[in-house]
Every structure is written in structure tokens, then in C-alpha cells.
Amino acid sequence: MGYERQVVGSVVALLVWVSAVSLSEGRVPFACDPRNVETRGFKFCRTNVPIHVRVQDLIGRLTLPEKIRLVVNNAIAVPRLGIQGYEWWSEALHGVSNVGPGTRFGGSFPGATMFPQVISTAASFNQSLWREIGRVVSDEARAMYNGGQAGLTYWSPNVNIFRDPRWGRGQETPGEDPTLAAKYAASYVRGLQGDGAGNRLKVAACCKHYTAYDLDNWNGVDRFHFNAKVSKQDLEDTYDVPFKACVLEGQVASVMCSYNQVNGKPTCADPDLLRNTIRGQWRLNGYIVSDCDSVGVFYDTQHYTRTPEEAAAEAIKAGLDLDCGPFLAIYTDAAIRKGLISENDLSLALANLITVQMRLGMFDGEPSAQPYGNLGPRDVCTAAHQQLALEAARESIVLLQNKGHSLPLSPTRHRLVGVIGPNSEATVTMIGNYAGVACGYTTPLQGIARYVKTAHQVGCRNVACGGNQLFGAAETIAREADATVLVMGLDQSVEAETRDRLGLLLPGFQQELVARVARVAKGPVILVIISGGPVDVSFAVNDPKISAILWAGYPGQAGGTAIADVIFGTTNPGGRLPMTWYPESYLRKVPMTIMDMRPNPATGYPGRTYRFYKGPVVFPFGHGLSYSRFTHTLAQGPKQVSLQALFTDANSTLSSKEAVRVSHADCDDQALEMEFHVDVQNQGPMDGTHTLLVFANPPPGKWAATKQLVGFHKAHVPAGSKQRVKVGVNVCKHLSVVDQFGIRRIPTGEHDIHIGDVKHSISVQTMQQIKH
């Protein structure tokens, strides 16, 4: 969302806000108030009538001007039908957020549980954790809704692929890998939306920003003007993957289209993307919303249509249901009068919106009569919720390096620890962007002080670290301390929405501070990086005086406790990097504006992410150490699978002996759900968690073999013991490759499976076609 635009939106929303919220405790029922004798008898209020019938009944009662004012985020009230105004824009990326005007803190709701930023929780590779966080966040969201301080429609998560390490919003995403992002999307959305019976929604989530949106502002190009040129191949096997999973597996109630263009068309005006793909192929049961003022942007900024009425019509015809912003409220009337769209087109969009509101129970009368009606202030920032935020932070921290087993520190041997760095007293920095007001914080310094005596110096006034004036004092404490912890990194002044990074190194003089302190330190030196995006810390990797490096991401409200727990070994770190850590030199060969995932030898373009970039890295995707040592052996895994091809691919140059189109294969066949059983042995001295990453390589030949994550599982294994772990892999979804036309095919032949150092091969064969 654009900041300036957001301010305008908030002012408009505020006016509605005042009328929408009662002055007494809690919220007036949104609609169908049982105390309102004039309206409670309407058919659309009857909970025993099927939702689609209720929706049609309500739409039949609305006038055209009312309908037009209901397809924008600050939807008007319709008092004659007993319907309140509604602000659709709330956010809950990793805790209830106050970024959208639909949510505000204060009064009975001074704060909410702030979990680690998404790039961090992605590093846990723990699907149950993602779902559990979603469950807790939606409990708090429902409680705030009941109290009249939040909405029920949350425009989270952000599941764009973290394509370029400079992206300021990479922190909001689950990283660079499509399989990881897809599983994150489905898990978090299911957690948020609840397991409500049938069609019911606890809150409505939204996967954004569809699609190929991952540049905010780089080298004079911003997201409002950017035309992302994306191949059909990259769209199908990278950019669209998390969105497809979000809709199909997560059953998300909404998708947001982005600001940018894709191949010359604004996404919010592209019927191929919205109407054909999201609604047609994936069968979205929900609504499509624009990013905030996307429609205005493609008219005003991109000059995509000649008139504003055409812009409104194009958006609705493309399949947009809700405009975040005022554009549709202003221009839809004229668009209908000019015959560019019909009132029926508008009604269809509105039906998608009202259906979601009905699934949320907003037309069922009293909030307290609903399954979540009893949630209130005492259900927010509970001890259990805050404990989960701490657990999430512990699971998210990645041990990047640990020379000579210098970690964990021992409180009995390292009695005085020097704590240095501009992030050593971080609070709001730890929650990253799209956050709200936390229940409270434990800073890294406070966390460490719970274990040992500390001496503290910031070394740099802020992360920009513009000078070395404070270095001397920092060196003094490092000379005396039994160990030194440097808490460095980034914050929202370096990477944020509208702010892509210029480089990957630590800002300003941070590197010099670390090196100078390390040179004089008496004890082991531990470098802790707080950041969303990757940082080129080669200098520290190569500095023999720096013993250990931890990536703490943006670890959330309990970050300081978790960092200290890892440093002192009460938590054995198990996080893995969800994105490649590139060297600074990588950037010289990679303009941020080039969307291609694959390398181009002709131009020297090296490609992106571990799947396609094969050059030097600082730390690879999936990297993460433990205080224990784990080994695996494959106990059981299929050696062969047979595919049933339902149709011959008459037009393909490939014979069915080489590959089968996924759309022509019988993907419902249970035999295509493979399971690998792996024995994980903890040979180290400490209980710990181990993440099994399963990668696959297609048969050599036409497929320009590239290693791809196909499954993962995290397991807790006590010291000295062994545990059997099962990882599922689906042949159609995971062993398929995408050709240059964007067609997904399953190559026949030997696929290589890599699980850690275990290699296994599966032979994929086709059976006789049964139809022609």
C-alpha cells in the first residue's frame, strides 16, 4: 500500500468509523440486529436460508448508488436495511496490525501479540507453527472485532516470491522458494480462517500481491510504474505457485492484485490473471481486491486507459470485486451510463463481497451469538499467546556459523558479557513492518542480562552508523568482557515498503565497529544480525576473531529472550535460511528490474535464487547449524511410480515416453502421493530439532536440470536418539517441470531425490493411455 494514499484513505475511513462504532462497549451488530424490528425479518437475515439465496435477496433490495458505494474499502452504511458501514482494510501479517484503517489500538485493546516477521517464521520450516500463529492472531482479531476496534477482513499474508535480495518488502514474505512459500501460504491462511464448519470463516485472509510484484523503488523505477516482463515459464513455476496453493489448498477468501503491470497490463485490469486464472482455473471462493488505489494508479500513473470510466470498467470486467480506494465509487456510475459495463457486472462483484461477509457471520445478528462472539480483551496478549511468540522466535533463529563450538556460551564461564551494537536495545525494530502495537518487548540486552552480568555500549547511534565516535567505549568493554555479543543489522530505515536496499553490506560504519571490537575482544565474539533481507557478512565469516554468527531476522516482541536462549544454549537453534545470502558483487550483474529466474549466458545474467543461480554465495538457501549433529538414512522411499496418462498430447513435440502433461495425467491417483521415511539420528550432545529438506532433480536431458525443494519436515530429536520422519511428495505437483510455454509436464525417467547427504532415485514411467 502506498503511504500517501493510505493517509487519504484513513481520513475517508475515519468519517465512516465514527458512524460505524457505537460509543458504548463493543460493536453494534453489523447487520440484522435482533433489536431492530424493521429489518430483522429480511430474508437475508435468516441464518437457515442458504447463503447464495440470502446474497441475492440483499442485492435485490439495493439501489444502484448503494451498490456503487459498497465496492470500495470504506463501504457505506445502508440504514434503511439495517446495515452498518464497514472498513474492509485490516492487516494481520504476523499479529493484528494497525497499518489498515480498519484496526486501531487503545482502550481495552492497548496491544496485540507481535510474532516474528514472516521471513523469520519461514526459517522455522514448521507448518504447524505457521498454522498455530494464524489461529492465535485470528483469536485476537476476533476479540478486537467484537470490541469494535478491528475488521474481519485481513489483507495478509504477502506471498510474493522474494526474488531480489534488495527488496524492501522481502521481510514480509516466506522467502525465495515456491514450495516453501506455497506451504506457508496454505498453513497461515488455514490458521487465520479457522476450521469453521463448511463454508464459515473465522476471519477472511487475503493472499497478495498478485502477481510478480517484488520491486518497490529501485534506481528510479517504482512499483506504480513498473512493467514486470515475466515469461510464461517463470509465472507458472515461480511467481504463481504460492497464490495457486493459497487458493486451492488454503481456500483463501481473497486475493489482492498488485500495482505493477505484468507484460504490459496492470494486474488489476487483466482478465487473464483475475477472471481466468484466479477465479476460473483455481476457483476462488471469495473476492478479488485491488492494492490501495491500484485502479487509480493504472489510470493516473500508468495512463493505461483514456478515461477514468474506462479504468473502472476494465477493472470490473477483469474480475475485480473491491477497490481499496475511492476510484470505483467515483467512476462506476458513469461507466454504467456509458454502457462500458452493466449493473449486473457490478452486482456480480458485490455478490462475491457479501458472500464473504455472510460466511463471516456478519449478517447473523449479535456478535455474541456467533462461534467467536465471546472473545474479548482477556483473549489478547494472553500468557499462552506470548509464549507462542517466544517459541516462534526461538524456532526462527538461524545459526550461520559456529567456529570451534564457541556457542553456546556458559553463564558460569562467561560471567561478564559485553553487549554492543545499534540493535542491542531493539524494540519496534524487532517486529518489522506490517506490525501493530506489541504486548511488550524483551530487548536483546534484557534477554542476555537474564543470564549474566552485562556491560553495554551501542557503538553506533543507529543502524545507519554514520561515524566511529563511539567505537572506543565499545572496544573498552570488549577488552574486559568474557564474551562479546554484537547486535547489528538493519531496520525499516534501510529496508521497508517503498524502500528497496542499495546494497547488501551492513550500513555505514557497522562493519568497522564489528572488526575493531573483535580485534581487541578478550573472549569469543558473537555477531547477531537483525534484518529481513540477507546481509553480505563475508568480512565476518573471514575474520578469525569472530566466532559465531546468528541471523535473528525480525524476531518479534520476544526476540531478545529467544536470542539469549540460543546464545546460552537453553534453545538449540534449528532455523534454516529461507533465502540465499548473496555476496554484494552479485548485484552488479543483476538489475532489479529483470524478472527472469533463469540465467542467460548470452548476457552474463546469473539467474536468481538457489534454483537457478549457481555462483558464489555467502550462505546458501536452507543453511542452518545446530549444537547437535544429525545424520539421516532413508528407511523407505518409492523406487518407481507409474503415471496414468488420460490423454495423448497430440500437439507436443515430446512423445509421451519423455513426459506427460500434468493436465493429461490422472493426478487423483493415490499412487502419486509418495512418502519418504527417513531415520534422523541426533549424534550430538543436546536435544534439538532437525529440518529435513527434500530436493529433487528431474532426469537429465531436455529439462536443464535444476534442484528444487519438493518437501520438508521439522522434527524434534532428543540427544543420542533416533526418530523416523515422513515427508510427502506429490508427483504431479513436485516432480513436474514447466516448459517455456508455461506447460507443466512430468518427465519420465530417473528423478534424483536428495535428502541431506542421502541420494535416492525414482523411476517415473507412463502406463498405456486409456483414451485418445
Ligand X SMILES: *[C@@H]1O[C@H](CO)[C@@H](O)[C@H](O)[C@H]1NC(C)=O
| Residues near ligand X (CB under 6 A) | 126, 128-129, 132, 391, 395, 649-651, 689, 714-716
DSSP β-bridge partners for residue 486? 420, 527
Nearest approach, Cβ of residue 394 and ligand X (Å): 9
Cα 524–chain centre separation: 35
Choice between 183 and 714, CB closer to ligand X: 714
Nearest approach, Cβ of residue 689 and ligand X (Å): 4
From the candidates 33, 139, 270, 291, which is the catalytic residue?
291
Residue with cell 514448521: 126
Nearest approach, Cβ of residue 690 and ligand X (Å): 8
57: annotated active-site residue:
no
Cell numbers describing residue 457? 555500549
Give dist(CA 407, CA 526) in Å, integer. Answer: 8
Give dist(CA 473, CA 471) in Å, integer. Answer: 6
Residue with cell 491500484: 294
Cell numbers describing residue 578? 529461507
Task: Give whole-number Cα distances, 608 to 359, 411, 573, 598, in Å.
Answer: 41, 43, 28, 7
Nearest approach, Cβ of residue 183 and ligand X (Å): 13
DSSP tag of 768: P
Q: Which one, of 727, 634, 631, lies nearest residue 682 by Cα?
A: 631
DSSP letter string, 638-673: -SEEEEEBSS--TT-SS-TTTEEEGGGB-TT-GGGE
Give dist(CA 596, CA 229) in Å, integer. Answer: 8
Nearest approach, Cβ of residue 124 and ligand X (Å): 7
3-state secondary structure of 435: coil
DSSP β-bridge partners for residue 457? 420
Nearest approach, Cβ of residue 571 and ligand X (Å): 10
Give dist(CA 461, CA 687) in Å, integer. Answer: 39
Give dist(CA 127, CA 138) in Å, integer. Answer: 17
Choice between 389 and 525, CB closer to ligand X: 389
Choice between 236 and 391, CB closer to ligand X: 391
Give dist(CA 510, CA 770) in Å, integer. Answer: 66
Give dist(CA 610, CA 594) in Å, integer. Answer: 17
Three-state helix/strand/coil letters over 221-289: EECCCCEECCCHHHHHHHHCHHHHHHHHCCCCCEEEECCCEECCEEHHHCCHHHHHHHHHHCCCCCEEE
Nearest approach, Cβ of residue 660 and ligand X (Å): 13
Choice between 127 and 401, CB closer to ligand X: 127
Per residue in 598-632, is it b (16+ CB within 10 Å) or e — as a string? bbeeeeebbbbbbbbbeeebbbebbbbbbbbebeb
Nearest approach, Cβ of residue 389 and ligand X (Å): 11
Choice between 516 and 714, CB closer to ligand X: 714
User: In what side-by-side order are the strands of the sheet with 737-738?
Assistant: 659-661, 744-747, 737-738
Choice between 128 and 410, CB closer to ligand X: 128
Choice between 461 and 716, CB closer to ligand X: 716
Choice between 69 and 713, CB closer to ligand X: 713
Choice between 202 and 690, CB closer to ligand X: 690
- State phi, psi for 127 to the nearest 5 degrees: -65, -35
18 C-beta neighbours (distance < 10 Å), count: 9
What length does the chain have? 772
Choice between 94 and 714, CB closer to ligand X: 714
Contact of 76 with 66, CB cutoff 8 Å? yes
380 C-beta neighbours (distance < 10 Å), count: 25
Nearest approach, Cβ of residue 351 and ligand X (Å): 33
Nearest approach, Cβ of residue 713 and ligand X (Å): 9
Active site residues: 291
